[in-house]
């Protein structure tokens, strides 16, 4: 805790670094106090699966040495900033469990590029964060190690699959956390927890060392409570990596346009999305209000159509399971994963290990993918799904000839209660507004716009940018933040330190 009573995890990057530079506190104090606070305040919420106190202390010592030598900047752009990583990201010598019994004992043999870049930027690694098993889900309820609770209301889910990352940031345990998003797994939990969550354009961040779900859809991105912090974090983790042939060169400063305002910006709104079945009135109202605020600030609202977006969910639940089936084949109990003991032949060992190692949702995805890729069935589903993918991508390309950015809902509703959605297909609908962006590959982010009038829970709006023009959505996000303010720490955590 600092002199003014704000816990370090509840500060912005600027505040933290100003305090460090002014020697109000040291990075070593930041690391120790942050770990202590998580041990105490996260006990029930369960955002963290593993703490890395020693690594945080080592990183902090380096930052303090740079400070002592005269310059905080020498320690990197995220110097002294506590961070957490979703548990599908390898960090050498920590467990990378993907919240699955399959990998409960798996120790990272190396560090994922996004994690390495974060550490290289001077951040303090506090630990690994809970998630839906292998990132399959929208509630963190499928974690084999128990769910994470929503910091706004412990009876509700934080969203998923990066629920631990979102909850940790919303509770003010860390200013920044990394998550991954295959169909909505950064944006939906960000909206459920009332914070900023960014899925950059596919290729902006290397996927190397992040356990693959759907390789053509997965993208890593940051959670933060301010747009600037999210942009600073994305600056640190983005860039070319020779280990991921889909990664792109980093020549973008995501903070570049934050102060520009939206005057003259053309922002697309999608009437068909606002009439979608299942969208609650309170979310619709907030999205409409956010559009109006952007117009008040000088943006031009343009109605657009994304006629094929309605097929995105169907295409995703073909392409996603197919890629997951292929990616998860490596967990065979021999090279990787839980090995059920005492089987005389290999086939029986495979079967028993995979049956016991994977939870129900992971098994469902694997079986679905296996079926969809089988001879005969492939032509009926996989091939058309790829054609739909092209149509959706073309929809966005056409729309972005008319607009610079698109505004939509993130999730059709606010955070639901544990156990409230039992039917998996109902759960899948959580991502009805986010999935088409993974299919097309462009950038999308969730920005908090206050609370829903009925549930009094956080609502996020989604800003979508053209491919590799992620700066556009950051620009509009900063304008929204100037109206709604930065995300508050969830009320029941606001007084704790």
Q: Which residues are catalytic?
A: 86, 161, 185
Shortest approach of ligand GLN to residue 214 CB, angstroms?
Answer: 8
Whichever of 161 and 462 has its CB closer to ligand GLN, that residue is 161
Whichever of 36 and 361 has its CB closer to ligand GLN, that residue is 361
130 is a site residue for ligand GLN (CB under 6 A) = no
200 is a site residue for ligand GLN (CB under 6 A) = no
Whichever of 8 and 202 has its CB closer to ligand GLN, that residue is 202
DSSP 370-407: HHHTSTTHHHHHHHHHHHHHHHHHHHHHHHHHH-SEEE
Q: How many CA atoms lie within 13 A of 449 on its CB side?
A: 34
The 3-state DSSP class for residue 1 equals: coil
Out of 147, 163, 172, 184, point to the residue binding ligand GLN (CB under 6 A). 184
136 is a site residue for ligand GLN (CB under 6 A) = yes
Quick one: which segment of 40-48, 135-143, 303-311, 341-349 binds ligand GLN (CB under 6 A)? 135-143
Residues 6+ apart with CB under 8 A from 160: 131, 132, 137, 138, 139, 140, 141, 142, 185, 188, 189
Q: Which of residues 397-456 bind ligand GLN (CB under 6 A)?
A: 431
Shortest approach of ligand GLN to residue 30 CB, angstroms?
Answer: 31
141 is a site residue for ligand GLN (CB under 6 A) = no
Contact 181, 87 (CB under 8 A): no
213 is a site residue for ligand GLN (CB under 6 A) = yes
Out of 30, 135, 432, 473, point to the residue binding ligand GLN (CB under 6 A). 135
Torsion angle of alpha carbons 215, 216, 222, 226, nearest 10°?
A: -160
315 is a site residue for ligand GLN (CB under 6 A) = no
Residues 206, 210, 215, 219, CA torsion sign: negative
358 is a site residue for ligand GLN (CB under 6 A) = no
Q: What is the largest CA-CA distance in the chain?
A: 71
Q: Which of 268, 279, 159, 176 is nearest to 487 (CA)?
A: 176
137 is a site residue for ligand GLN (CB under 6 A) = yes
Q: Which of residues 316-355 bind ligand GLN (CB under 6 A)?
A: 320
Shortest approach of ligand GLN to residue 91 CB, angstroms?
Answer: 19
7 is a site residue for ligand GLN (CB under 6 A) = no
Quick one: which segment of 47-55, 95-103, 178-186, 246-254 binds ligand GLN (CB under 6 A)? 178-186
Whichever of 8 and 273 has its CB closer to ligand GLN, that residue is 273
Shortest approach of ligand GLN to residue 431 CB, angstroms?
Answer: 5
163 is a site residue for ligand GLN (CB under 6 A) = no
182 is a site residue for ligand GLN (CB under 6 A) = yes
Give the count of residues interacting with ligand GLN (CB under 6 A): 13
Shortest approach of ligand GLN to residue 463 CB, angstroms?
Answer: 18
The 3-state DSSP class for residue 362 equals: helix
235 is a site residue for ligand GLN (CB under 6 A) = no
Shortest approach of ligand GLN to residue 361 CB, angstroms?
Answer: 8
Tell me how far the alpha carbon of residue 244 is from its chain's centroid.
19
Tell me how far the alpha carbon of residue 33 is from its chain's centroid.
25
Out of 183, 194, 458, 460, point to the residue binding ligand GLN (CB under 6 A). 183
Torsion angle of alpha carbons 425, 428, 429, 433, nearest 10°?
A: -160
Q: How far is CA 64 from CA 307, 459, 464, in A?
A: 54, 39, 39
Tell me whether strands 124-129 and 266-269 are parallel, antiparallel or unpaired: unpaired
185 is a site residue for ligand GLN (CB under 6 A) = yes
Whichever of 248 and 430 has its CB closer to ligand GLN, that residue is 430
Quick one: which segment of 103-111, 151-159, 166-174, 180-188 binds ligand GLN (CB under 6 A)? 180-188
Residues 6+ apart with CB under 8 A from 103: 95, 96, 97, 211, 331, 336, 337, 338
Whichever of 183 and 197 has its CB closer to ligand GLN, that residue is 183
Quick one: which segment of 134-142, 170-178, 449-457, 458-466 binds ligand GLN (CB under 6 A)? 134-142
Give the position of tokens 């020693």: 54
Q: Give 444's strand partners.
A: 199, 464
- Residue ranges with strand state E in 297-370: 300-303
Q: Where are the alpha helices (DSSP H) in 177-221?
A: 187-193
87 is a site residue for ligand GLN (CB under 6 A) = no
Out of 161, 165, 349, 465, point to the residue binding ligand GLN (CB under 6 A). 161
Whichever of 141 and 181 has its CB closer to ligand GLN, that residue is 181
Q: Give 238's strand partners.
A: 205
- DSSP H or E segment with residue 88: none
List residues binding ligand GLN (CB under 6 A): 135-138, 161, 181-185, 213, 320, 431
């Amino acid at each position: 805790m600092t002199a003014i009573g704000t816990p370090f995890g509840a500060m912005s990057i600027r505040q933290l670094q100003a305090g460090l530079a002014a020697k109000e506190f040291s990075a070593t104090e930041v690391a120790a106090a942050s770990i202590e606070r998580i041990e105490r305040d996260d006990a029930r919420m369960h955002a963290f699966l593993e703490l890395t106190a020693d690594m945080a202390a080592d990183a902090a010592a380096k930052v303090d040495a740079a400070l002592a030598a005269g310059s905080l900047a020498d320690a990197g752009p995220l110097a002294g900033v506590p961070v957490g990583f979703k548990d599908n990201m390898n960090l050498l010598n920590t467990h990378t469990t993907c919240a699955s019994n399959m990998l409960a004992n798996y120790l990272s043999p190396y560090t994922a590029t996004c994690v390495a870049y974060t550490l290289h930027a001077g951040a303090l690694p506090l630990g690994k964060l809970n998630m839906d098993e292998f990132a399959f889900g929208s509630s963190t309820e499928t974690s084999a190690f128990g769910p994470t609770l929503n910091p706004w209301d412990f009876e509700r889910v934080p969203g998923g699959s990066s629920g631990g990352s979102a909850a940790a940031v919303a509770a003010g345990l860390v200013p920044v956390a990394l998550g991954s998003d295959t169909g909505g797994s950064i944006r939906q939990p960000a909206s459920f927890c009332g914070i900023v969550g960014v899925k950059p354009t596919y290729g902006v961040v290397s996927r190397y060392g992040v356990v693959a779900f759907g390789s053509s859809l997965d993208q890593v991105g940051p959670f933060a409570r301010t747009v600037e912090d999210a942009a600073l974090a994305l600056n640190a983790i983005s860039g070319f990596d020779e280990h991921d042939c889909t990664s792109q060169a980093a020549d973008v400063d995501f903070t570049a346009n934050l102060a520009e305002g939206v005057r003259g910006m053309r922002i697309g709104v999608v009437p068909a999305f606002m009439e979608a079945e299942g969208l609650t009135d309170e979310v619709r109202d907030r999205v409409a209000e956010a559009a109006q605020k952007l117009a008040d600030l000088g943006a031009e609202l343009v109605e657009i159509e994304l006629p094929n977006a309605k097929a995105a969910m169907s295409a995703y639940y073909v392409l996603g399971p197919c890629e997951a089936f292929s990616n998860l084949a490596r967990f065979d109990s021999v090279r990787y994963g839980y090995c059920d003991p005492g089987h005389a032949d290999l086939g029986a060992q495979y079967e028993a290990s995979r049956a016991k190692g994977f939870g129900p949702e992971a098994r469902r995805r694997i079986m679905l993918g296996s079926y969809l890729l089988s001879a005969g069935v492939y032509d009926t589903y996989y091939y058309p799904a790829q054609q739909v993918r092209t149509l959706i991508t073309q929809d966005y390309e056409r729309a972005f000839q008319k607009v610079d950015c698109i505004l939509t809902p993130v999730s059709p509703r606010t955070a639901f209660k544990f156990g409230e959605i039992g039917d998996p297909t109902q759960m899948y609908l959580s991502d009805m507004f986010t999935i088409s962006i993974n299919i097309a590959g462009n950038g999308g982010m969730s920005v908090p716009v206050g609370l829903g009038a009925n549930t009094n829970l956080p609502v996020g709006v989604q800003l979508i940018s053209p491919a590799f023009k992620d700066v556009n959505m950051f620009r509009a996000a900063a304008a929204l933040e100037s109206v709604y303010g930065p995300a508050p720490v969830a009320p029941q955590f606001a007084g704790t330190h």
